[in-house]
Structure 1
Amino acid sequence: MVSGKEIHILVDSGSTHSFIDEKVVKALGIKTEPTIPMIVSVANGYRMVSKVICPELNWEIQGFQFSYPVRTLKLGGCDFLLGCNWFGAHNLIELHFHQLTVTIIQKDGNVILRALPQKNGSRLAASDSLIGLLGRITYDLFG
């Protein structure tokens, strides 16, 4: 959830950076500022440029509060993408591919985020065979 609105969050261990969709930022009136442009290669091979950052984006996932600077980009497939730079801001992250969980290991207790089931009961995530092909896993979360 960002600014009180439920959004679609994708946890992507194959993305070096975290991004929030430009349309979401505009619709929610999230504070932004210009930043050094970054060329971003996306999954379909195209390159895009991210020139704007939300210097302190606050969001909630499954009752847990987070804050981190996040760049804007035209995402299309989701509202918010959490990448490796966000993982790196935490001392230790554990990705459990079969349980589809992300565990943030902390001194005062672990935070466990779970992939949410789709309406038909299946979970939103890449299959094991696809993980091997792509060398990464993505989790869909709703915050």
Structure 2
Amino acid sequence: MKVRREKRLCYNCNKVYTYGHQCAKKQFYMLEGKDESREAEVEDHDGAENVLEGSLEEESIICQHALTGSMGIQTIRLKGRAKSREVIILVDSGSTHNYLDPKTAKFTRVEVKNTNVCGISSHAKCTAFTWSMQWVEFATEMRLLTLGGCDVVLGMQWLIKIDHILLYAKQLSMSFMRQNKWITLQGIKEESKLMLMVGKMVRRLLDN
């Protein structure tokens, strides 16, 4: 990586990086790694930063948590509503873009623009997906991708547009400024999810 910086080479191809540079072939990356590894976390952030500085429109990085529905140190899970229906939203700083599950796009009836498909990443987009979180309305661009354990992923594409954002990992909450007002969003705690799963198992045993 040091050699590439010195030679001003693109991080994704061997061509010299200049303003407006785009890689010849679109690529899609999925980050994998253990949360307890601090070194792996730093490397993941470096990779995401390089992609964001290079050609954000051409490259996509999505964290493994967004595809499997698992929690990580870079994620907060929130409840939201879209078209009067509850959706599960994963705020994930390890993903470069925003992603919307195709099933969610279908029932919200958003306008989708289909382009080419590269690997497992669908480049179909909806330019104005609207939803609310704790009575606050939002709207942003989304890329369609089949997700696991959530309906929406809000990545760096959404986070970099927020002013003065504060993330509280232990409390699973985030606060930020919007229209000159502080907004605090409380995440879903895993304990409640575990209790719900245990409750369902107990009901099944009683039914049998």
* Equivalence for 2:44: none
Q: Do the aligned partners of 1:94 and 1:105 also contact (CA within 8 Å) in 2?
A: no
Is 1:78 equivalent to 2:150 in the alignment?
yes
Listed as ranges, the gaps of 5+ residues in structure 2 are 1-80, 197-208
Report 1:63-142 matches (<5 A): 63-106=135-178, 108-117=180-189, 118-119=192-193, 120=195
Instruction: Please give the per-residue CA displacement for 1:83-137, whole angstroms capped at 9, x wherever unaligned.
Output: 111001112221111111111124621111111232529xxxxxxxxxxxxxxxx
Unaligned 5+ residue runs, structure 1?
A: 40-46, 122-143
| Off by >4 Å, runs of 4+ in structure 1 | none
Matched, 1:28 2:100: no
Structure 1 residues 77 and 110: CA distance shift in structure 2, 3 A: same
Distance 1:29 1:101, change over 3 A: same
Structure with the bigger RCO (C-alpha within 8 Å, sep 6+) is 1
Structure having the higher helix fraction is: 2
TM (norm. structure 1) is 0.70
Q: Identify the residue that residue 124 of structure 2 maps to in structure 1.
A: 52
Question: Pairwise CA RMSD of aligned residues?
Answer: 2.0
Kindly tell me the number of residue pairs found equivalent between the two proteins: 113
Q: Per-residue displacement from partner, 1:15-42 (whole Å, max 9, x unpaired)?
A: 11110101111233221113575x5xxx
Work out the percentage of aligned pairs sharing the same amino acid: 31
Change in Cα spacing, 1:49 to 1:98, as seen in structure 2 (3 Å) is same
Q: TM-score, normalised by structure 2?
A: 0.50
Which amino acid letter does the alignment assign opposite residue 167 of structure 2? Answer: L
Further displaced range: 66-75 or 111-120: 111-120
Partner of 1:19: 99
- Structure 2 CA distance for partners of 1:35 and 1:92, relative to 1, 3 Å: farther
Q: Aligned equivalents of 1:98 and 1:49: distance in 2?
A: 32
Q: Which residue of 1 aligns with 2:61?
A: none
Compare 95-104 and 27-36 and name the one that shifted more.
Answer: 27-36
Aligned to 1:136: none
